[in-house]
Chains A and B, each alone.
Chain A
């Protein structure tokens, strides 16, 4: 018989500031995160775990849960995986794309024009969540209409994912 070893003690972080951030920008209801734990493995990242995770102490995990928010930047940013995960809960700064815009997004294009109708749920310049027929695709950077230019966005589709994408993502 051997004794049941202890599991790794995870130092969860206070999620309140991050939940506020996601609520402010994307209108994600604050109570959406009740069944998750927030964990910061390093200076760059916050990951999201479920509440029942019992990782071993040894071998020590090299990663846990879903990489969720990149924090080593001026404006912390949801990862693409994080966006796909919480995007369906967003109520503002969400833009529904056309098929042509979807293809531009997957080609990592910049200055992709948006119609006025598409930007009704957008607030200020900054991150937006992109969807197509209600399915979340990832994130972009939104620039509202100004004197110089019409509203538009840059694709944040990650380089690492981009080699998967082709010109027409609907075949």
Chain B
């Protein structure tokens, strides 16, 4: 097997890393490790379509495709394998993929759905669902029962959700094409809601080298306005006791802690709380920030998690689990 990837610029000192330097003080002496991790291509993760077969039944297929000897099960999920980025394999063209036995996603993308822990007969909302990897994971965790309202504003991107539904054989998804910042009340209440908002995508630079070049003068405030509106609307539709996972693939506190803090400020901290995330066995996470620039966030923000690429050889990510404690007066 050959490596087809050109290494990224060694960039602690190159302009490539400039937009991320604002996080240098958060990482302190880990900064070089962070830069190093970003200079390497991202491992691939392949997860079992458990509505169709078990991970041990998938194993012989991975073996037949020459993947098993290179694969390691995720430390925190028995159903998924990590494959080194150096493997030059078109995973999406292999028979077990085409037959809907597995799906591909990067490791961090599997975390919010897993933490949300949807149960088979529940009613789930996925506010920003396309291209649908997380929706599919939720559908499998629910064993094809219950309801997932998979919404996205982009019709083009919803087509990708459709093709995943077909290939994996998912029965519990209703797709809608709507502005999630503005859902009508008739959408009903939900047991759990995934709020995987559009963001600056800083944490995806190992997959998409260009992303960091788009960040110069990035308008975090404008982006976070939409994120706040989407999160607010989602939290209003949670049933009492229901849980939402707010997630982004960015390091920017303006799109993470600040969004969660401001929305809960608006909805009332008595009605919602940021709850601890379940432990990801063998996977290192850092707590959400309590301060950024001249701002402070609620102490419970420590329950949110930040994922830095150099800790687990992944992309960057943020997840906050928010539980509705009682009915909010409208």
Residues of chain A at the chain B interface (Cβ within 8 Å): 1-2, 4-5, 7, 36, 48-50, 52-67, 79-81, 84-85, 102, 106, 132, 135-137, 160-161, 164-166, 169-171
Q: Does B29 contact A (CB under 8 A)?
A: no
Residue pair A1, B330 in contact (C-beta under 8 Å): yes
Q: Does B166 contact A (CB under 8 A)?
A: yes
Residue pair A58, B177 in contact (C-beta under 8 Å): no
Q: Chain A residues with Cβ under 8 A from B171's Cβ?
A: 36, 48-50, 53, 65-66
Q: Report the minimum CB–CB distance from B185 to chain A (whole Å).
A: 6
Stretch at the interface among B95-103, B108-116, B258-266, B293-301: B95-103
Residue pair A50, B145 in contact (C-beta under 8 Å): yes
7 closest Cβ pairs, A-B complex: A81-B166, A55-B174, A169-B95, A85-B169, A61-B174, A58-B186, A59-B178
Residues of chain B at the chain A interface (Cβ within 8 Å): 61, 64-67, 89-90, 92-101, 121, 123, 144-147, 149, 151, 158, 162-163, 165-167, 169-178, 183-189, 327, 329-330
Q: List 21 A-B contacts (CB under 8 A).
A: A2-B185, A5-B188, A48-B171, A49-B171, A52-B145, A53-B147, A54-B123, A55-B174, A56-B149, A58-B184, A59-B184, A61-B175, A62-B176, A65-B174, A66-B165, A66-B171, A67-B166, A84-B99, A164-B93, A169-B93, A171-B65
Residue pair B65, A160 in contact (C-beta under 8 Å): no
Q: Tell me the bound Cα distance from A160 to B164 in angstroms.
A: 12
Q: Tell me the bound Cα distance from A7 to B183 in angstroms.
A: 15
Residue pair B166, A1 in contact (C-beta under 8 Å): no
Which residue, B100, B173, B174, has most C-beta atoms of chain A within 10 A? B174
Q: Tell me the bound Cα distance from A61 to B82 in angstroms.
A: 35
Q: Tell me the bound Cα distance from A7 to B149 in angstroms.
A: 12
Q: Chain A residues with Cβ under 8 A from B89's Cβ?
A: 171
Q: A81: nearest residue on chain B (CB-CB)?
A: B166
Picked from A61, A66, A135, A170, the residue with its CB within 8 Å of the CB of B176 is: A61
Q: Chain A residues with Cβ under 8 A from B100's Cβ?
A: 81, 84
Q: Report the minimum CB–CB distance from A159 to chain B (whole Å).
A: 12
Q: Tell me the bound Cα distance from A5 to B89 in angstroms.
A: 48
Picked from A52, A57, A61, A62, the residue with its CB within 8 Å of the CB of B146 is: A52
Residue pair B186, A56 in contact (C-beta under 8 Å): yes
